[in-house]
């Protein structure tokens, strides 16, 4: 993940956040930086936030599929409202607990004496072992074996994988509290 150290130090995010696959991280980071400069999001320099998860089990990882144009198109298409979830964008090649993974979201409104704030979470899943998956305490991963739902990317080991979690809020925070 690129650019996070600048957010931790300054509390400033000067570009959109982009999620991609491992091989495209540099292209996406560079495109975010160029976009920020071209659209006057920053006057000094840009340390954009781009994060990756490996999708080589379900994707032609070495092919240069993502270009600067794709990143600019994604930014132009961004809108408020519900986020498309599942097998979309950076979530296309994801595997989660040996099932097809992807993009998911959740949000909550929190009210306290200081005001009413929203906390939103976007997750790109790409990790886990089927046998360890539990939903509301039920061992779902053990109940749904490979005979019922085959594992995508069979050469993948249970220890392989990663997860990206982006938490955003409109609550007033100082840089140090954002990392707590």
pLDDT single digits (tens) 56-69: 877 788 888 899 99
Q: Is the alpha carbon torsion for 179, 7, 165, 2 positive or negative? A: negative
pLDDT single digits (tens) 67-89: 999 999 999 999 988 888 988 88
pTM, rounded to two decimals:
0.83
Cα 7 to Cα 34: distance, rounded to the nearest angstrom? 18
Cα 154 to Cα 174: distance, rounded to the nearest angstrom? 44
Confidence of residue 44 (pLDDT cuts 50, 70, 90): low
pLDDT single digits (tens) 103-116: 999 999 999 898 99
pLDDT of 55 reads 83
Q: Are strands 49-53 and 17-21 parallel, antiparallel or unpaired?
A: parallel
pLDDT of 17 reads 92
Residue whose entry in the numeric block shows the structure tokens 């994707």? 59
Helix residue ranges, H only, the chain: 4-10, 25-38, 68-77, 140-143, 175-178
pLDDT of 175 reads 65
The four Cα atoms 71, 27, 123, 95 give a dihedral, to 10 degrees, of: 110
- Nearest Cα neighbor of 176 from 10, 49, 15 is 10
Reduced 3-state DSSP string for 15-66: CCEEEEEHHHHHHHHHHHHHHHHHCCCCCCCCCCEEEEECCCCCCCCCCCCC
Give SS3 for 112. strand
Find out if CATH 3.40.50.300 is the number for domain 4-178: no
- Residues above pLDDT 90, as percent of the chain: 38
More confident: 144 or 58: 144
| Segments making up each domain of the chain, as ranges | 4-178
């Amino acid at each position: 993940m690129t650019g996070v150290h600048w957010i931790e130090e300054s509390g400033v995010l000067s570009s959109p956040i982009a999620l991609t696959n491992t091989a495209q991280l540099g292209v996406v980071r560079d495109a975010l930086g160029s976009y920020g400069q071209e659209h006057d999001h920053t006057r000094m320099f840009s340390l954009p936030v781009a994060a990756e998860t490996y999708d080589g089990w379900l994707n032609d990882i070495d092919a240069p599929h993502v270009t600067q144009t794709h990143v600019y198109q994604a930014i132009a298409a961004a809108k408020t409202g519900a986020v498309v979830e599942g097998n979309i964008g950076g979530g296309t090649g994801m595997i989660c607990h040996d099932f097809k993974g992807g993009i998911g979201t959740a949000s909550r409104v929190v009210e306290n004496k200081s005001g009413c704030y929203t906390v939103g979470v976007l997750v790109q899943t790409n990790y886990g072992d089927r046998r360890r998956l539990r939903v509301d305490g039920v061992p779902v991963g053990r109940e749904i074996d490979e005979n019922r739902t085959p594992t995508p990317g069979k050469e993948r080991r249970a220890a392989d994988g990663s997860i990206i979690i982006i938490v955003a809020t409109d609550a007033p925070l100082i840089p140090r509290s954002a990392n707590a």
